[in-house]
Amino acid sequence: MRDVAIIGVGQTPVGEHWTTSIRHLTLEASLSALRDANIDQVDAIYVGNMLSGEITGQSHLGALVADFMGMTGVEALKVEAACASGSAAVRVGYMAVASGLLDLVLVVGVEKMTDTSGRETTSALAMAADSEYEVSQGLSFVGLNALLMRRYMHEFGWQREDFANFAINAHANGMHNPNAMFHLKISPESYARSSMIASPVSLFDASPVCDGAAAVVLAPAQYARTLSPTPVKICGSALATAPLAIHDRKMPLELEAARISAQRAYKQVGITPADISFFEVHDAFTIMAALSLEASGFAQKGQGVRMALEGDITINGRLPISTMGGLKARGHPVGATGIYQIVEAVIQLRGLAGPNQVKNARLGMTQNIGGSGATIVTHILEAMG
């Protein structure tokens, strides 16, 4: 097995791209990553996407992207794992390069969610949950997270306001990320009065519906330095699953797939959570950030919220999270999100995060969650220095 490195990254701004089609978004992020990697051809293109069929009426994105990039002939396919589609596609690219079968692989995640009615987007997103046992009961994705947040508050004695710092930190970091959807500082007061979507989930607990694309170029680590001045090694990669429906999980508040995938990744690298410099967390909802921190070993059960309350998660805190705005402020174009996280981790490890730079960033971890925790992908990245 060969070690694998990231030699180029690219991204589009996240936002409501009414005039840009899914193929154009993908092209923009992909070309940017290829330029960054100083290459103009790859052996394969793996696309992370969840909803192009339902929302845009276009499946077969692998061939579409290869075609639109003028790389016909190249191997290409799409990977889907709900909101974890992007990182699952990186996982496939990682295996392809690790195997020795392919050398240069472009992995691009894309989602265009705004080009439809809000109701349709909500319905399409709900397909990440169990259609026969959850969605058929009327549960939306916000509803599922509301159930989890309510239960968490009940079991561990937290108030809604205790989650505020997840959103406040994400928005503070998003201020300095030109690609973030929101450049808007929020305060404990604005969080407290933000409108309720599905109690206790308020607008400021939830990530936005948006469009965006992000891309990485993978190469064998042994050649990476000849191609890039600043390669970043993928030293841990793991994907794990848990029951699709929340009611099928023994402990709904323990993200079992996060625990398994984080442990596998730590083991692969030979580290403990304490060795991680920063964590790009899947803060699609504030409750998910808390649960992810706990399952990954950064906080005790029921105490993830305390890390936010005590300031541990800020850029200068014990474990900076959502360093470029997270899903909350950078945005959450679902199939692209896992790749945005990895792109941002690479920027941190290259020392190019500007005002958001995490000091002495050595090992960055990303965790991308599909559904309400059914698919969880953890990657650990290291600058090759």
Specify whether 83 is catalytic: yes
225 touching a second copy, by CB under 8 A: no
**Smallest distance from the beta carbon of 246 to a second copy, in angstroms?**
12
Q: Could you say which of 172, 239, 361, 383 contacts a second copy (CB under 8 A)? A: 239
Q: Which of 17, 83, 171, 282 is catalytic?
A: 83
**Smallest distance from the beta carbon of 332 to a second copy, in angstroms?**
16
Q: Which of residues 252-291 bind a second copy (CB under 8 A)?
A: 256-257, 260
| 21: its two tokens | 């089609």
209 touching a second copy, by CB under 8 A: no
Residue with smaller CB distance to a second copy, 327 or 347: 327
- Given the rule CB under 8 A, which of 60-68, 109-117, 195-203, 217-225 is the region that contacts a second copy? 60-68
Q: Which of 17, 171, 332, 379 is catalytic?
A: 332
75 touching a second copy, by CB under 8 A: yes
d(CA 95, CA 109): 17
Q: Is 134 exposed, middle or buried (0-12, 13-18, 19+ CB in 10 A)?
A: buried
312 touching a second copy, by CB under 8 A: no
Calculate the dihedral angle through the C-alpha atoms of 289, 175, 365, 35, rounding to the nearest 10 degrees.
Answer: 140
Do you know the residue count of the chain? 385
Q: At 276, is the secondary structure helix, strand, or coil?
A: coil
Could you tell me which residues are beta bridge partners of residue 5? 219, 233
Residue 208, C-beta contacts closer than 8 angstroms, at least 6 positions apart: 181, 182, 331, 332
> Phi, psi at residue 201, to the nearest 5°?
-80, 120
234 touching a second copy, by CB under 8 A: no
d(CA 216, CA 340): 9
| CB-based contact 8:37 (threshold 8 Å) | yes
Q: Which of residues 80-139 bind a second copy (CB under 8 A)?
A: 80-82, 88, 91-92, 95-96, 98-102, 123-124, 127-132, 135
247 touching a second copy, by CB under 8 A: no
Residue with smaller CB distance to a second copy, 118 or 188: 118
**Measuring CA to CA, which residue among 115, 382, 384 is closest to residue 269?**
382
Question: Could you identify the residue written with the tokens 């992000």?
Answer: 214
- The full DSSP string for 246-259 is GGGSSSTTS-HHHH
Residue with smaller CB distance to a second copy, 95 or 271: 95
Across 190-264, the runs of DSSP E, i.e. the strands, are 196-198, 201-202, 211-220, 232-241
Could you tell me which residues are beta bridge partners of residue 370? 375
Specify whether 210 is catalytic: no
**Smallest distance from the beta carbon of 269 to a second copy, in angstroms?**
14
Q: Could you say which of 5, 7, 29, 76 contacts a second copy (CB under 8 A)? A: 76
Q: Which residues are catalytic?
A: 83, 332
Q: Which residue ranges make up the site for a second copy (CB under 8 A)?
A: 1, 21, 23, 44, 50-51, 53-54, 56-64, 66-67, 72-82, 88, 91-92, 95-96, 98-102, 123-124, 127-132, 135, 238-245, 248, 256-257, 260, 370-371, 374-375
